[in-house]
């Protein structure tokens, strides 16, 4: 239903003047003797009267006010907890009858002029709101009822949302409990699942480090919970690729606490490993789906060794050593001439503090590092032999201007991308006390990048403070600062957690940059993550390079993925410019290897790697429904709890609530002069008048 009104900007009494002008104009034009009949004369005078009056009327600024009313029916959302726990631990007949009953409820509500939508836990953009409850697959790997209800509230915020019918077992294993949130609609929970404790043994969690070093021993601890088997025994086994590595028989705790079982394994060759821990089923156990947990580890090469060589004892050395060792992948070895000897070992990175030195006592370390071609971090200070340092061609040349020094603090180069320095962490640099740098001119080699600039007071200069040179097999970083120990100490004293995160991450990033292997592959195919969950879509990306390592596109790439049972999945794709990745879909849990190949310049190039798909198993841990949570949720929103046999009562309560339609009014103003069809009417009238005058003669 709508309303239309014609209004004018000026007083409507002026319409009389418009009519008078139209009448006067028509009288002056058609009051004289004419060659046509009086009847035609009156007709032509009427047309002229209408046209002139209307044109004058337009000068009054007329406009149309249109009010349209839209009626919106009340909406009921049927929210379904389609998690695995509902499908696993609810009686199949009860679940089928309940979902079919919800189908009937939806039909009857729609017959009574309700708008009914269905939502499930998988809150994707393409979530099908026309899905029938009886068609729902209970396969979701987690339950987040708060997210489901909050998304419903947000989606229907501007609509006539009457309430939500929530089908659930009340088990929540992700996000916060919905009873701690506030919703602006009534919730009508329909409780399913089993609230009677069953005899069961399950593994709620595993405790282990996700990274282990090859050759080292590492523990895997399983927590065993039981219901109805307290005081009894169970056997727990750990397997790899179906092969039992160890087994232990344990006595289950008599109280509610977990029983811990610890296995000690030895990390073999580097790579990703998948271990399966199982509590063997017991007689009378309700379900065995929660008896198994999976552990996924990354076995990596033993720690990288960093040689810290110094010309003489200095507080900087302790700060550097402490920062580098915050990363478990690195261990440090110290060399100071005359105090600590140089150990002949395989070093991955070297830190040279004020070497080459004017004392010449540290030449042994410099010769060793250059002979072994070890990537190095050079720290330039007051004892550095600048001439000898420039001869090393480390990416920066220092031309001193006298013996003066500058007092500077670090300033981040936002264009440096070899490793990430968080902007929030870089703000800590502003609190650092000044360090000494030579007063000099600095020249950078073409392949050298600046990581940090020198800042004098509040002025950020273009002089480099920390630089990196990464060129094929040659890697070096130069820090032109003496007294950096004060930076770490000051940051520890001024941060809340007393941890110098900015300094430590900077030093670890530099060492990782130096220790990283240069990638000379012309085909680089890789998953976007190292670890996925079974519910994730797995996506690969690809980089292809020509002979001079420029990216090229349009290459046909073959990809083969192999699981632990040697089952292969093959894919092929083309890496176009702006390539968004190959989506291979979701995969079962396990460790996967992949091999990719492409023909580049007539030669076959290959790449390979590994990734992990983890089983979530959150839904199998708890089989006991939590109807108390649903009862609290109903009470909080002014409703009460329903059971599958009470769906008819739920229907009556919804209809009895007498939810009303909402009428929205929309007001639209339109200037009459903007209506094109009026122009054509006026044009038609004028044309008719002109034609008749010409046809019957004029005067």
Average pLDDT rounded to a whole number, residues 605-609: 90
Domain end point (choices 300, 330, 365): 300
Average pLDDT rounded to a whole number, residues 635-645: 91
Q: Are residues 445 and 397 in the same domain?
A: yes
Please report the pLDDT score of residue 125 as a whole number: 44
Q: Are residues 345 and 279 in the same domain?
A: no
Round to whole Å and give the CA distance between 121 and 127. Answer: 9
Nearest by Cα to 658 from 74, 236, 155? 74
Full domain range(s) for residue 289: 200-300
Average pLDDT rounded to a whole number, residues 242-270: 87
CB < 8 Å & 24+ apart, contacts of 457-461 = 460/411, 461/408
Is pLDDT above 50 for 149? yes
pLDDT band at residue 333 under the 50/70/90 scheme = very high
Q: Which residue is it, tokens 């509500």?
A: 109
Question: Is 619 inside any structural domain?
Answer: no
Q: Are residues 262 and 325 in the same domain?
A: no
Q: Are 60 and 10 in contact (CB under 8 A)?
A: yes
Round to whole Å and give the CA distance between 318 and 325. Answer: 11
Is pLDDT above 50 for 313? yes
**Angle at 415 (CA atoms; ends 411, 420), nearest 5 degrees:** 80
pLDDT band at residue 423 under the 50/70/90 scheme = low
Residues 668-693 have pLDDT tens digits of 888 888 888 888 988 998 898 888 88
Please report the pLDDT score of residue 534 as a whole number: 84
Q: Are residues 433 and 312 in the same domain?
A: yes
Token output for 535 = 């519910």
544: domain CATH number? 2.60.40.1930
Burial class (CB within 10 angstroms; exposed 0-12, middle 13-18, buried 19+) of 369: buried
Q: Are residues 553 and 530 in the same domain?
A: yes
Q: Are 341 and 368 in contact (CB under 8 A)?
A: no
Number of separate domains in the chain: 5
Is pLDDT above 80 for 424? no
Is pLDDT above 50 for 393? yes
370: domain CATH number? 3.40.50
Residues 16-41 have pLDDT tens digits of 998 999 899 888 888 887 788 888 88
* Residue 308 vs residue 420, higher pLDDT: 308
266: domain CATH number? 2.60.40.10
Question: Is 393 inside any structural domain?
Answer: yes
What does the radius of gyration of the chain's CA atoms come to, in whole angstroms? 40
Q: Are 596 and 573 in contact (CB under 8 A)?
A: no
Q: Are residues 343 and 411 in the same domain?
A: yes
Q: Are residues 651 and 686 in the same domain?
A: no
Domain end point (choices 235, 270, 300): 300
pLDDT band at residue 362 under the 50/70/90 scheme = low
Is pLDDT above 90 for 663? no
Q: Are 338 and 367 in contact (CB under 8 A)?
A: no
Residue percentage of the chain with pLDDT more than 90: 35
Residues 35-74 have pLDDT tens digits of 888 888 888 889 889 988 888 988 888 888 877 777 888 9
Q: Are residues 580 and 486 in the same domain?
A: no
Domain end point (choices 515, 541, 576): 515
Q: Are residues 112 and 225 in the same domain?
A: no
Q: Are 600 and 522 in contact (CB under 8 A)?
A: yes
Residues 89-143 have pLDDT tens digits of 888 999 999 999 999 999 999 898 899 999 998 754 445 556 889 989 998 888 9
Question: Residue 612's beta-bridge partner residues?
Answer: 531, 591
Nearest by Cα to 273 from 213, 328, 344? 213
Question: Is 592 inside any structural domain?
Answer: yes
Question: Is 663 inside any structural domain?
Answer: no
Q: Are 273 and 241 in contact (CB under 8 A)?
A: no
Q: Please give the backbone phi and psi of residue 388, each rounded to the nearest 5 degrees, phi first.
A: -65, -35
Question: Is 233 inside any structural domain?
Answer: yes
Question: What are the start-end ranges of the E strands in 320-429?
Answer: 330-335, 349-353, 376-380, 396-412
Is pLDDT above 80 for 630? yes
Round to whole Å and give the CA distance between 146 and 142. Answer: 12
Please report the pLDDT score of residue 241 as a whole number: 84
Q: Are residues 504 and 486 in the same domain?
A: yes
What is the average pLDDT value for the chain, to the nearest integer? 87
Question: Is 662 inside any structural domain?
Answer: no
Question: Is 83 inside any structural domain?
Answer: yes
Round to whole Å and give the CA distance between 40 and 521. Answer: 94
CB < 8 Å & 24+ apart, contacts of 558-562 = 558/596, 558/597, 558/598, 559/525, 559/584, 559/594, 559/595, 559/596, 560/594, 560/595, 560/596, 561/587, 561/592, 561/593, 561/594, 562/592, 562/593, 562/594, 562/595
Q: Are residues 131 and 172 in the same domain?
A: yes
Question: Is 376 inside any structural domain?
Answer: yes
Burial class (CB within 10 angstroms; exposed 0-12, middle 13-18, buried 19+) of 98: buried
Please report the pLDDT score of residue 699 as a whole number: 46
pTM: predicted TM-score of the whole model, two decimal places: 0.56
Residues 182-238 have pLDDT tens digits of 998 999 999 999 888 888 898 888 888 887 777 778 899 999 988 888 888 999 999
pLDDT band at residue 330 under the 50/70/90 scheme = confident
Q: Pairing mode, if any, of strands 568-574 and 556-562? A: antiparallel
Residues 537-583 have pLDDT tens digits of 899 989 888 876 678 888 999 999 999 889 999 999 998 887 778 99
Q: Are residues 129 and 232 in the same domain?
A: no
Q: Are 309 and 353 in contact (CB under 8 A)?
A: yes
């Amino acid at each position: 239903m709508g309303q239309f009104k014609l209004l004018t900007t000026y007083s409507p009494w002026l319409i009389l003047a418009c009519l008078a002008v139209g009448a006067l104009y028509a009288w002056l034009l058609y009051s004289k003797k004419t060659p046509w009949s009086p009847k035609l004369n009156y007709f032509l005078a009427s047309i002229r009267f209408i046209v002139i009056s209307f044109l004058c009327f337009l000068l009054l600024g007329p406009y149309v006010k249109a009010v349209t009313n839209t009626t919106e029916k009340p909406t009921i959302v049927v929210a379904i907890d389609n998690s695995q726990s509902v499908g696993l631990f609810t009686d199949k007949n009860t679940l089928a009858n309940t979902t079919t009953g919800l189908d009937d409820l939806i039909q009857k509500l729609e017959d009574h002029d309700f708008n009914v939508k269905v939502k499930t836990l998988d809150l994707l953009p393409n979530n099908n709101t026309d899905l029938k409850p009886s068609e729902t697959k209970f396969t979701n790997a987690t339950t987040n009822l708060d997210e489901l209800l909050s998304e419903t509230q947000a989606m229907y915020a501007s609509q006539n949302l009457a309430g939500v019918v929530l089908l659930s077992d009340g088990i929540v294993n992700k996000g916060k409990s919905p009873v701690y949130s506030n919703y602006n609609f009534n919730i009508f929970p329909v409780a399913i699942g089993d609230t009677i404790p069953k005899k069961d043994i399950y593994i709620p969690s595993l405790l282990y480090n996700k990274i282990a070093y090859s050759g080292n021993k590492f523990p895997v601890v399983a927590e065993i919970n039981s219901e109805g088997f307290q005081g009894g025994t169970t056997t727990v086994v750990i397997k790899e690729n179906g092969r039992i590595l160890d087994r232990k028989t344990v006595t289950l705790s008599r109280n509610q606490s977990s029983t811990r079982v610890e296995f000690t394994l030895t990390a073999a060759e580097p790579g990703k490993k998948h271990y399966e821990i199982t509590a063997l089923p017991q007689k009378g156990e309700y379900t065995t789906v929660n008896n198994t947990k999976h552990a996924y580890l990354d076995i990596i090469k033993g720690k990288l060794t960093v040689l810290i060589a110094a010309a003489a004892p200095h507080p900087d050395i302790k700060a550097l050593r402490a920062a580098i060792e915050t990363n478990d992948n690195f261990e440090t070895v110290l060399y100071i001439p005359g105090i600590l000897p140089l150990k002949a070992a395989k070093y991955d990175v070297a830190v040279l503090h004020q070497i080459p030195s004017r004392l010449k006592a540290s030449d042994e370390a410099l010769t060793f590092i250059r002979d072994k071609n070890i990537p190095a971090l050079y720290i330039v200070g007051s004892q550095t032999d600048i001439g000898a340092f420039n001869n090393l061609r480390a990416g920066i040349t220092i031309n001193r201007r006298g013996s003066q020094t500058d007092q500077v603090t670090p300033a981040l180069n936002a264009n440096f991308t070899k490793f990430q320095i968080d902007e929030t962490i870089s703000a800590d640099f502003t609190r650092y006390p000044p360090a000494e740098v030579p007063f000099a001119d600095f020249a950078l080699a073409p392949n050298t990048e600046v990581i940090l600039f020198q800042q004098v007071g509040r002025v950020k200069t273009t002089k480099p403070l920390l630089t990196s040179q990464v060129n094929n097999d040659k890697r070096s970083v130069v820090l032109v600062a003496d007294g950096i120990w004060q930076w770490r100490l000051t940051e520890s004293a001024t941060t809340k957690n007393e941890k110098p995160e900015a300094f430590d991450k900077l030093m670890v990033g530099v060492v990782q940059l130096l220790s990283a292997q240069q990638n000379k592959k012309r085909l680089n195919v890789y998953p976007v993550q190292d670890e996925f969950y079974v519910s994730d879509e797995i996506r690969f990306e690809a980089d292809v390079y020509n002979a001079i390592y420029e990216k090229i596109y349009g290459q046909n790439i073959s990809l083969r993925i192999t699981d632990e049972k040697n089952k292969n999945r093959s894919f092929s794709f083309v890496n176009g410019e702006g390539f968004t990745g190959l989506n291979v879909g979701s995969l079962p849990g396990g460790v996967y290897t992949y091999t990719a190949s492409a023909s580049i310049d007539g030669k076959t190039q290959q790449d390979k790697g590994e990734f992990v798909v983890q089983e979530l198993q959150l839904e199998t841990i708890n089989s006991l429904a939590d109807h108390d949570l649903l009862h609290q949720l109903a009470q909080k929103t002014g409703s009460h709890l329903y059971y599958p046999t009470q769906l008819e009562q739920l229907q009556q309560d919804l209809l009895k609530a007498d939810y009303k339609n909402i009428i929205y009014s929309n007001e639209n103003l339109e200037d009459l002069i903007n209506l094109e069809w009026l122009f054509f009417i006026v044009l038609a009238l004028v044309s008719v008048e002109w034609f008749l005058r010409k046809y019957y003669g004029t005067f």
